[in-house]
Amino acid sequence: MSGPDRAGRPAAVPPAGPAAPGSGAPGPGVPGPAAGRGAVAGGSATAVRFRSLLDALAPIGRDPASGGYRRFGWTAADLACREWFAGEAAARGMDRTVDGNGNLWAWWGTPGPGAVVTGSHLDSVPNGGAYDGPLGVISAFCAVDELRDRDVTPARPVAVVAFADEEGARFGVACLGSRLLSGAIERDRALALTDADGTSLADAMRAAGADPRAAGADPEVLGRIGAFVELHVEQGRGLVDLGAPIGVATGIWPHGRWRYRFAGEANHAGTTRLADRRDPMLTFANTVLSARKKARLAGALATFGRVTVVPNGTNAVPSTVDGWLDARAPDEATLQELVAAIGQAATERGQRDGVEVAVSTESVTPAVAFDPTLRQRLVAALGGGAPELPTGAGHDAGILAARVPTAMLFVRNPTGVSHSPAEYAADADCVAGIHALAAVLEDLAG
C-alpha cells in the first residue's frame, strides 16, 4: 500500500470538526464530558487530540439539564455526529465511504480486502454517556494519527468505522448497522421496524437522505474486513478490580430483548372495586419482581427498563402495559431457561389478574467468543500484561465476530457506570487505550 495521504493531516491539535447543527452548547454550570475530571492539560499530542475530539462531539445531542445524550439513529443529533465523522476523515485526507446500511468508513489506504478495521458507534441510549461508542471512534482516529506521527506505513488498508444505530434505542433492535451488513437481520424485517412515533427505519433513512433500497447484507463491504478491533469504555468494574487501565475482551454473554404486552381493561380508578379490575400494571409489576428473583437465582441478569402504559392516566386503570425485558446470562441454556421461566410466571400471574400476556422476541444475540488468535495478538501487542475479561454488554464486534476475526479492547471505567450521564473514563486511561490500539493496528496492518 502506498504511504498515507498526509495532506491536511492534523498537527499537534486536530481541527475541531464541523459545528454540530442544531446542537445546543452545554448550559451554564454544566460541564462537558469529564471536563475537569482528569483532562490532560498540555499533555502529549495524543492527549491533546483526544480531548479536542471528545470536546468537539460533546455538545451534540446533549441535554444541558442532565448532561446525558440522546443520539438516536437517523435523527438530527445522529446526522450531526455523521458530519463530525466526515470532518475528521477529511481533516486526515482519508477517503470516506458510506455503505448501504448507513455505516461510515474512513480509509487510510485503498478500500479493499484484508483491511484492518477499527471503530465503534456514535449513537446513544436515551440519556446516555459520552463514552459508549464515541470513545472507540475517537480512539480509532487518534491511533491513526499516532501511527502517522511515527511514519508507520501499513502494508494493509486501515479503516475507521462508525456503525449505524448500535444501541437500538429508536427501532428496538441493537446493532442494526452491523446486523444488516453481515446479514444477521433480514433486510425487509429491519426496514419495517418502527420507532415510538410509528416511523419506519426505511422512512427514517429516506428522511435523512439515505436510500433504504441499498440496505441489506453486503458481502463486498464485509469482505473488505480482514480483522475488526473495537475499543470501548468498559461498562462494569472488571478493570477497576484488576487495577488495569486496559483489557482484552474474551467474549460477550448471550443476550436479547423481549416485548411483553399485558392487556387488561381500562376503568375508573375511583369506582372500580379491586376485585372487579383487570389491571395489567399489577401483572407487569409482579413480572418485574419475578424476573429479578429468577435472574438472581440463575446468576444472570434481567431488566425491564422501558415501559409504555395506555392510556397513562393517573386516575385510570390501564388498558395495556408494554414492557421490554432485557435478559443476559453466562451461557445460552441459562438464558433460554430464564426467559422461559419469566414468560411462564407472567402468564400464570396474568391468569390470576384477568390479563392477557403476549411475548414477542425482538432480538437475540448468541454467546460470542472472540477470535483466540486475534486475542493473543492483542495481548502480545500490549506487552503481554493486559488482563482478559468477558462482558455482558452487546457490541457491533459481537455481531461481526460470527463473520470475521474480531476482538475488543476495554478502557477502565472507574465507577463502572454506563448508559448514564455518569459514564466516565479518565483521559489518561483513554490515552493508554489509544496507545494500545495504535500498537494493535501496527501489528495487524504490518
**Contact map string, positions 216 to 255, toward ligand GLV, x by CB under 6 A:** ----------------------------------------
Q: Give phi and psi for 117, each to the nearest 5.
A: -115, 135
Does 264 participate in binding ligand GLV (rule CB under 6 A)?
no
Rounded to a whole number of angstroms, the minimum distance from the CB of residue 394 to ligand GLV is 4
Is the Cβ of residue 174 or residue 263 nearer to ligand GLV in the bound state? 174
**Interaction partner, residue 133 (Mn ion, ligand GLV, none; CB < 5-8 Å by kind):** Mn ion
Work out the burial of residue 30: count CB atoms within 10 Å of its CB; fewer than 13 is exposed, 13-18 middle, 19 or more buried: middle
**Interaction partner, residue 174 (Mn ion, ligand GLV, none; CB < 5-8 Å by kind):** ligand GLV
Does 394 participate in binding ligand GLV (rule CB under 6 A)?
yes
Does 132 participate in binding Mn ion (rule CB under 5 A)?
yes
Does 174 participate in binding ligand GLV (rule CB under 6 A)?
yes
Selected from 133, 254, 264, 433, the binder of Mn ion by CB under 5 A is: 133
Count residues contacting ligand GLV (CB under 6 A)?
A: 4
User: 441 and 229 in contact (C-beta within 8 Å)?
Assistant: yes
Rounded to a whole number of angstroms, the minimum distance from the CB of residue 167 to ligand GLV is 6
Helices 45-57 & 76-91 angle (0-180, nearest 10): 150
Selected from 47, 355, 379, 393, the binder of ligand GLV by CB under 6 A is: 393
Is the Cβ of residue 132 or residue 195 nearer to Mn ion in the bound state? 132
Please give the Cα distance from 257 to 302 (Å, whole number). 10
Rounded to a whole number of angstroms, the minimum distance from the CB of residue 46 to ligand GLV is 26
Rounded to a whole number of angstroms, the minimum distance from the CB of residue 230 to ligand GLV is 12
Residue by residue, DSSP assigns 314-331 as TTEE-SEEEEEEEEE-SS
Rounded to a whole number of angstroms, the minimum distance from the CB of residue 234 to Mn ion is 11
Rounded to a whole number of angstroms, the minimum distance from the CB of residue 379 to Mn ion is 22
Rounded to a whole number of angstroms, the minimum distance from the CB of residue 213 to ligand GLV is 28
Please give the Cα distance from 145 to 149 (Å, whole number). 6
User: 26 and 65 in contact (C-beta within 8 Å)?
Assistant: no
Please give the Cα distance from 124 to 146 (Å, whole number). 27
User: 407 and 248 in contact (C-beta within 8 Å)?
Assistant: yes
**Interaction partner, residue 394 (ligand GLV, Mn ion, none; CB < 5-8 Å by kind):** ligand GLV
- Whose cell is 448532561? That residue is 67
Residue by residue, DSSP assigns 95-152 as EEEE-TT--EEEEES---TTEEEEEEE----TTB-SSTTHHHHHHHHHHHHHHHHTT-
Is the Cβ of residue 216 or residue 324 nearer to ligand GLV in the bound state? 324
Is the Cβ of residue 107 or residue 304 nearer to ligand GLV in the bound state? 304
Is the Cβ of residue 254 or residue 394 nearer to ligand GLV in the bound state? 394
**Interaction partner, residue 368 (ligand GLV, Mn ion, none; CB < 5-8 Å by kind):** none
Chain residue at closest Cβ approach to Mn ion: 132
Residue by residue, DSSP assigns 6-36 as -TT---SS----S--TTPPPPPTT---TTTT
Is the Cβ of residue 26 or residue 392 nearer to Mn ion in the bound state? 392
CA 440 to chain centre: 22
Is the Cβ of residue 280 or residue 421 nearer to ligand GLV in the bound state? 421
Is the Cβ of residue 32 or residue 394 nearer to ligand GLV in the bound state? 394
**Interaction partner, residue 32 (ligand GLV, Mn ion, none; CB < 5-8 Å by kind):** none
Helix (H, G, I), strand (E, B) or coil at 212: helix
Q: Give phi and psi for 333, each to the nearest 5.
A: -65, -45
Q: Which three cell numbers stand for residue 198?
A: 410509528
**Interaction partner, residue 432 (Mn ion, ligand GLV, none; CB < 5-8 Å by kind):** none
Is the Cβ of residue 134 or residue 318 nearer to Mn ion in the bound state? 134
**Residue 93: which residues within 8 A CB-CB, separation 6 or more?**
4, 5, 6, 7, 8, 9
Is the Cβ of residue 94 or residue 397 nearer to ligand GLV in the bound state? 397
Q: CA end-to-end span of the chain, whole Å?
A: 11
User: 216 and 101 in contact (C-beta within 8 Å)?
Assistant: yes
Does 398 participate in binding Mn ion (rule CB under 5 A)?
no
Instruction: Report the interface residues with Mn ion, using CB under 5 A.
Output: 132-133
Instruction: Report the interface residues with ligand GLV, using CB under 6 A.
Output: 167, 174, 393-394
